Structure 1
């Protein structure tokens, strides 16, 4: 991004904004790239001073997956503007107006441009649509306009907006609010969004989202080159030169090749999205997660279960974090071979994923039309029930105290912005800090060498600051040091030979044959494959039916394993950090 930023600032000077921050940026930057999202914002801001920067903000969920105390959202918004953000595209994963109000007010008080987004689901042009009708959207827009927003966003996160629906929806809003700027965002999963964006423009939209051609299509946005070229013939030209788009495209097509090993195997459009309504941002993630959970061959079944899981939740708006609830639910149903009828019949005795339980408790807010009963009561049982905005019941955070604790743990370099990162993603931030403490700033390493080791004799040129470049050549890799899972590796750094002891994770892998659970009611097996993150019982402990035994995690999906019967713990056969497969024995309960 840094390499092409200056050229982008000239080529796309006419753009409404660059959507380059917020949303999953925090999670991905720290968890996978070991980069500071705030530093990314500041760096790009200096290089692109002329195009507004836009962030995707999940209303009361900020840039995280849950609700936070109100002062956390105000603090985040203030710091975002101070570090270079201009436009807040505020949405709520359930279109819950109370969560939206908080995000809107926080962005406004921070001095940002408030773009409030309506999340689009269903089909306004279909006579069969009973829930997410045109009138529903017009009423929701009325509520947002009353909040004093600057721009209206239509967020079609799954790519469900067909051209005729776009014409009806945008045309109706434009007729009612002639002067309200309208911004339309879609995904191209079904292959229809280019036509839909052109229809939206013709119906009165001011902005449509696009992606550079080589990064566009399928679960991404429609292609910039196609849409700008088509608009030039309609009197709605963007003023962005076709030749400039092609020049940027050449760069990004080369960059994309570096990441090709991570590409999901999505090679064609999927119009079944009109049935399952899976957001573009989730589609490839869920496909990857399914393969990691051993469900890769059941992708069609997962899509079918996604439809059933959405029905069980009450046909909700699906976008992060509510889409994660439906995705976790669908994977759990698939891996346990549960039908919708099974879930309804046995809801009061099953161990649901944590995200599903928290959704039904009300931790994300209130869905359109309310929660389905009696399913809600059966799933949450004796857990707290939240029937208003979740953040109102959360105590304000003491930022000074958090900063002091983080500085005591990681050092004086911890800033106020770091405190906000920690608030949104405590565990991810701590892992990121520990990693940087061990390896230093890895953002300076070229992508090729960040992702994989160099060949013997290959030279790496790493610029650590202006005018200071390290020329590093890999010379030799030694054998595994017995008992330590480490190797000595020899490098030549600017002509001098150095040996470094490197951890070899592959040599430390052990294959463990685990005991399987039996059909005995007290023999408790793992409901899914994953890692044990917490064990909550000890041998000899008395336990009641429904008490939590342990918490498991698989690809961001956490699930509590509870006791199917009352009794005492005879054996605990797992420990925190253990990787176990579905059906492996967790504990033995004696009657």
Structure 2
């Protein structure tokens, strides 16, 4: 990732490069100590980053302060962000107050981040007008096209005096992304807001990315047009594709509508927090858990518990009191800036990465701190990346455009024309005859698997996996006596850590998994006798 940034800067030395920075979360899902925030910003600027759009999923300015100050101290552009959302708790005054707080912290500009595409044209006009009327600050607007209102919102914001808007080249625009650049350029041509951009040159860029997009077709979401469900669920484009992917992994793609209906309820329980990374993933994953387990909050993800405990910062309104009491277990919620509770951790992180690198024979980069930060921010995949930095085969194969694939005609049906394919988790044997016709389709014999076996009758009450994922940590031990509610193990699924707790008191028997094992929904992990 650091090399990519340097190469982009080398190719575009005069073009300011911009990144999103999640305040105290940086690029991760937890708060990092201030020394890590400071060092990450320093290295990002050194490697070529110019503009930092700093936001916080809770819209808590305390969580943005350290990052914004670090950006300015290293001579880069600090853009404070309003993560736009709607709820009974959010009014025009909410956004004006947050703008003032960010200006007091110190920013070079303000961005309105409409990650879900729910900013209506009239609301955009009002919000931009009021901010520009009250404050002398450069204002930028970022809207997603998911609901179909983004183009209108951008136009009304321009009329109200916004200084900049985000668009995407047409061949990479719309659906989960942004309005098309060319459309807005054409709309504003000949007006006082004429961009001066050459539509013919833009078309050359669009043509280039049409071919690029073909290579990534397999990774696109299901959305082909606008989706009005987002007006209710307020799901950002990236979150929607994540939900689709997560439900496919759980063999529950048919549950998407139920999950979208559950998301606003979870969001209300968590204090009407905005849905933007990482809270969008937290709310979405908890909604998936609620739907798949058939019982709301039967399982509470670690990150959901963190929001209820105040570990992510202030929520717009108080969280569900009963849920909060359940996760606090008699303790007190966090009321200070969460990062104030963190000790400096950079030295410890660096020592740990260097130790692991030495044990595994990993050659760290010349600027080893960049590798340290990579592992610190992406602990589950960072080390794997370092181990295989020069082994592309260890990662996803390079995507290939369909047009680039040579078409060959099979000479005759043969053994090589028989394949085992997996469809939604089920294996089938497929025989393809000359011309590509499928002449035979039979279910494949079950392959040998290391998945946990079903507990035999009478062996006790099985503890099963509520989700497909990987075992992160086994906490219980064979023969241990546990009480109802005790944490038995931690499952990593859908980018979140889910604690699997004992549904009853008993003695742990037949632990069938270990850290790193992959499990499917319903697999028996252990039993309680």
Q: Report the TM range for the smaller structure's normalisation.
A: 0.7 to 0.9
Structure 1 pair 539/367, CA: closer, same or farther in 2 (3 Å)? same
Are 2:524 and 1:567 equivalent residues in the alignment? no
Q: How does 1:149-188 map to 2 (within 5 A)?
A: 149-177=107-135, 179-188=136-145
Partner of 2:441: none
Per-residue Cα deviation, 1:305-354 (whole angstroms, up to 9, x for no partner):
11221122121111001111100111001101235xxx4xxxxxx33122
Partner of 2:351: 401
Partner of 1:495: none
Partner of 2:92: 134
Report the Cα distance in structure 1 between the residues aligned to 2:458 and 2:275, rounded to whole angstroms: 37
Report the Cα distance in structure 2 between the residues aligned to 1:437 and 1:251, rounded to whole angstroms: 28
Q: How does 1:117-128 map to 2 (within 5 A)?
A: 117-122=81-86
Partner of 2:431: none
Q: How does 1:43-122 map to 2 (within 5 A)?
A: 43-122=7-86
Contact 2:139 2:162 in 1 (8 A): yes
Instruction: State which drifts further: 512-521 or 389-398.
Output: 512-521
Are 2:321 and 1:373 equivalent residues in the alignment? yes
Shift of 1:527: 2.1
Report the Cα distance in structure 1 between the residues aligned to 2:487 and 2:472, rounded to whole angstroms: 13
Alignment counterpart, residue 267 of structure 1, candidates 224, 231, 252: 224
Shift of 1:155: 0.5
Report the Cα distance in structure 2 between the residues aligned to 1:245 and 1:380, rounded to whole angstroms: 55
CA RMSD of aligned residues (A): 3.0
Shift of 1:412: 4.6
Shift of 1:244: 1.1
Number of residue-to-residue matches in the alignment = 492
Shift of 1:181: 0.5
Are 2:186 and 1:229 equivalent residues in the alignment? yes
Structure 1 pair 383/515, CA: closer, same or farther in 2 (3 Å)? farther
Partner of 1:9: none
Partner of 1:434: 387
Report the Cα distance in structure 2 between the residues aligned to 1:232 and 1:144, rounded to whole angstroms: 34
Shift of 1:563: 1.2
Structure 1 pair 271/533, CA: closer, same or farther in 2 (3 Å)? same
TM-score (norm 2): 0.86
Are 2:289 and 1:336 equivalent residues in the alignment? no
Q: How does 1:11-50 map to 2 (within 5 A)?
A: 37-50=1-14
Per-residue Cα deviation, 1:337-384 (whole angstroms, up to 9, x for no partner):
235xxx4xxxxxx33122212222222222112333132111342577
Alignment counterpart, residue 310 of structure 1, candidates 262, 267, 270: 267
Partner of 1:284: 241
Report the Cα distance in structure 1 between the residues aligned to 2:224 and 2:18, rounded to whole angstroms: 29
Are 2:421 and 1:421 equivalent residues in the alignment? no
Per-residue Cα deviation, 1:231-280 (whole angstroms, up to 9, x for no partner):
12431012221111110000001110111122211112012211100112
Q: How does 1:181-196 map to 2 (within 5 A)?
A: 181-196=138-153
Contact 1:324 1:355 in 2 (8 A): no
Report the Cα distance in structure 2 between the residues aligned to 1:252 and 1:55, rounded to whole angstroms: 21
Partner of 1:536: 475
Contact 2:489 2:499 in 1 (8 A): yes
Gaps of 5+ in 2: 409-415, 417-445
Contact 2:56 2:83 in 1 (8 A): yes
Shift of 1:173: 0.6
Shift of 1:172: 0.6
Shift of 1:97: 1.2
Shift of 1:134: 0.3
Report the Cα distance in structure 1 between the residues aligned to 2:507 and 2:195, rounded to whole angstroms: 70
Report the Cα distance in structure 2 between the residues aligned to 1:201 and 1:518, rounded to whole angstroms: 68
User: Could you say what secondary structure the match of 1:426 adopts?
Assistant: coil
Report the Cα distance in structure 1 between the residues aligned to 2:357 and 2:464, rounded to whole angstroms: 42
Report the Cα distance in structure 1 between the residues aligned to 2:101 and 2:324, rounded to whole angstroms: 28
Contact 1:96 1:365 in 2 (8 A): yes
Report the Cα distance in structure 2 between the residues aligned to 1:300 and 1:245, rounded to whole angstroms: 38
Per-residue Cα deviation, 1:23-54 (whole angstroms, up to 9, x for no partner):
xxxxxxxxxxxxxx111110010110111111
TM-score (norm 1): 0.77
Report the Cα distance in structure 2 between the residues aligned to 1:412 and 1:379, rounded to whole angstroms: 40
Structure 1 pair 309/430, CA: closer, same or farther in 2 (3 Å)? same
Gaps of 5+ in 1: 1-36, 123-128, 344-349, 458-476, 478-506
